[in-house]
Chains A and B, each alone.
Chain A
Amino acid sequence: QKEVEQNSGPLSVPEGAIASLNCTYSDRVSQSFFWYRQYSGKSPELIMSIYSNGDKEDGRFTAQLNKASQYVSLLIRDSQPSDSATYLCAVNMQAGTALIFGKGTTLSVSS
């Protein structure tokens, strides 16, 4: 059974802190990795994609991929109350197969 696991949270951080969201996946040959942000009552919004080992930075967001350990993480620097949302990890485990979504981690940033 191919799985993507996330801690459901809630993860609570104060404004200005670094929020660290983690995701593990079951298939070692996974190829593509995505982070989505979903506000309550809204649709998932793509914020980061990463395809190779290492870090990828985009503004306050950094995605980290470690294929050997089968985890991908998302760091949010200088967290803002507007970052409060559920963050979904999605993994494309093999070419030609469906994206598998985790159930999401709820982040709460307090001012």
Chain B
Amino acid sequence: NAGVTQTPKFQVLKTGQSMTLQCAQDMNHNSMYWYRQDPGMGLRLIYYSASEGTTDKGEVPNGYNVSRLNKREFSLRLESAAPSQTSVYFCASSGQAWGDEQFFGPGTRLTVL
């Protein structure tokens, strides 16, 4: 039982490049989330998927897109990376949206040059 897994662990991009961050959970959770964490800013929600087939914007969605591929997998795509997107990205999942406990993956440390 791996919980929430994320790939890659580290990534360096040049401005304008694109990439997709992958997330998968094996806890049979309905809801999945993408956060970014920056020094002094705390955790901020980028996008979430309350259930398979639905996605919604969070607090800071600009510059990102998401896909809920199936119940297990939720990916985050940067179409044209910018230095402002340098951050640590965490995926999380919960049984139901919001009121339930969220469990986090190990994170992806992204640097955009």
Contacts and interface: CB of A to CB of B under 8 A. Distances in A.
A88 to B, nearest CB: 7
Contacts of B45: 98-99
B43 A43 contact: no
B99 A46 contact: no
B58 A43 contact: no
Interface in B74-113: 90, 97-107
Given A98-B59, A102-B42, A103-B42, A43 B104 contact: yes
Nearest to A44: B104
Q: Interface residues of B: mostly helix, strand, loop or mixed?
A: loop
Contact of B42 (A31, A92, A95, A101): A101
A71 B90 CA distance: 26
A46 B43 contact: no
Interface string A20-35: 0000000000011010
B41 to A, nearest CB: 7
B40 interface: yes
